[in-house]
Amino acid sequence: MTKTSASNPTGAPAATANHAPNSFAGEPPGVLFGLPMPMARAMGLRGVSVGGDQAQVSMDTQADMSNSRGQAHGGAIATLLDCTLAAAVRAHDPAGHGVATIDMTLHFVATGSGTLTASAHCDRRGRSISFARGEVRDAAGALVATATGSFKLMPRTPAASGA
């Protein structure tokens, strides 16, 4: 279990934590840890690592993801956290499960820009509901945001043809 500290108040794994190797390396845009996700392509999300109840996802902020001050918009940071927490919840079988977000609580701590990396940990995985927490840090390691969420875990089924 990760301990909290002044630099890591959530106890979530830091961006430099020792995560499992990414067996999904080289995925095409729009695929995040084995699941097709058009939002991943639109937001430029890249799966860094997944496994052991943890996930790490990075995003390079672009001009069209900015707020009026030129920093990453809160909605872009929320999307990064939502996808990373969801990946942590399905880290036990990333390609075999999908999730639906039930709720997510977000705390913005500082502004962020450039490359942002979210790290998340699944705190508890039930038969159908799971709980995760995570954080976003910038390239210098500064804490940008924290989040907790609950997710409905669902086995993946092939998409219907013609859909």
**Per-chain mean pLDDT for the chain:** 84
Domain containing 36: what range? Answer: 31-155
- To which residue do tokens 């996930």 refer? 55
Least confident of 26-35, 46-55, 77-86, 122-131: 26-35
| Residue 96 token pair | 């075999």
Name the 3-class secondary structure at 65.
helix
Indicate whether 17 belongs to any domain: no
Task: Give percent above pLDDT 90 in the chain.
Answer: 57
| Residue 91 token pair | 């880290």
- pTM summary value: 0.82
**Residues 39, 79: contact at Cβ < 8 Å?**
yes
CATH of the domain at 93: 3.10.129.10
Name the 3-class secondary structure at 74.
helix
pLDDT digits (tens, 9 = 90+) for 99-150: 999 999 999 999 999 999 999 999 999 989 999 999 999 999 999 999 999 9
For residues 70 and 83, give the distance between their C-alpha atoms in angstroms, rounded to a whole number: 23
Please state the domain count of the chain: 1
Residue of 31, 7, 14 whose CA lies nearest to 133: 14
